[in-house]
Structure 1
């Protein structure tokens, strides 16, 4: 249980701040016989699961190692191409370790823009005027909570579904943004936030909210 990450998105949909707090490390290793019981593909120069999730291995997980040899992109550290190796029956049985890939900076920027668009679509789909847009999305593995200010800044937190205190944390994040970003003479609104005091206070607020959420549960 806990708070996984924080995103701050400006009114144009640009990601101006992102903080990862406690991202769960998901790794699964399994020995396979020939033929491989799932479909793999190359995505962003990495070998990922495209179809056939099972035993904790999910679509989107990437190959981390084969027979204990770490993967570096689409190849193993010894230079062998992973897809070519797994296509040959002589190499089986084979032990493959899968894991959830960490998002790159570019992927986080892209996802922030996509969420901004979905938020706007939700406002348009609402039959009632002045819709608040997307305030929350909950799945079996995480919960997304969003708050938008009057100036269009969106604060988004990703947490464990059982974490509590979302509204209090969002309010605290806005106070930190007002105190350490907007009042900073060197900060231009809508631009990425780069301020050590902002970082420190945000991290402290997240840690405190995580402890209170654990206590409340």
Structure 2
């Protein structure tokens, strides 16, 4: 069983902590003929799919290898320009390998700010008064559990769908947060959480939980 990540969102909806624990690297490899039936976007730092997703290759996926040679930005590991290779019909067929890029910090902040209003809308849509909002969000590839404290801080864990016991895990994470953040007189609820002891103990907790399901550390 796998835990993918942990997120903490402040009362005002800002992302104050995130931890990528076990995010899988999803790669797709395919041989293409000329011309390419997918459109690529050439950035200074990467080459990514802009249009024409197919066979497990989706918009946003990043080109990481050509014929087994690693792509560094827009240049192959041997120094050749990737764009020149892809635009030359004589080089085909070409084996291209793509991967789903990991989210940047800015993307995580954006997603956290989106979850905040969704949580509030869910609370108001509930026919029951004083609804706790979104507690579980299920998809075919992951499950998100959310625990909101009395102060409005939200703790979220993203794990694979078959993972159980996430409610207990969230409360254990909150205990760590209380011990290493709230007891610090210089810490503010709205500022990013940067605490080495919290990071270390969270890592131990997640590893123990994945292996045994036991959350006592």
TM-score range, shorter chain: 0.7 to 0.9
Match of residue 11 from structure 1: 11
Q: How does 1:43-58 map to 2 (within 5 A)?
A: 46-49=46-49, 50-54=51-55, 56-58=56-58
Question: Matches of residues 48-197 of structure 1 in structure 2 within 5 Å?
Answer: 48-49=48-49, 50-54=51-55, 56-77=56-77, 78=79, 80-82=81-83, 85-197=85-197
Aligned-partner SS, 1:7: strand
* TM-score normalised by the chain length of structure 2: 0.86
Question: 2: CA distance between counterparts of 1:43 and 1:140?
Answer: 32
The separation in 2 between residues aligned to 1:47 and 1:117, in whole angstroms, is: 33
Unaligned runs of 5+ in 1: none
Q: Which runs of 5+ in 2 are unaligned?
A: none
Closer/same/farther in 2, CA of residues 39 and 120 from structure 1, 3 Å limit: farther
- Deviation of 1:161 after TM superposition, in Å, equals 1.0
CA distance in 2: counterparts of 1:44 and 1:53, whole angstroms:
24
- Provide the C-alpha distance between the structure 2 equivalents of 1:47 and 1:137, rounded to a whole number of angstroms: 32
- Cα deviations by residue, 1:88-122 (Å, 9 ceiling, x for unpaired): 43331111111111122222222211222322232
1:197 to 1:44, Cα distance in 2 relative to 1, 3 A: same
SS in 1 for 2:5: strand
The 1:152/1:79 distance shift into structure 2, 3 A limit, reads: farther
CA distance in 1, matches of 2:44, 2:141: 25
Contact 2:63 2:97 in 1 (8 A): yes
Distance 1:114 1:48 in 2: 25
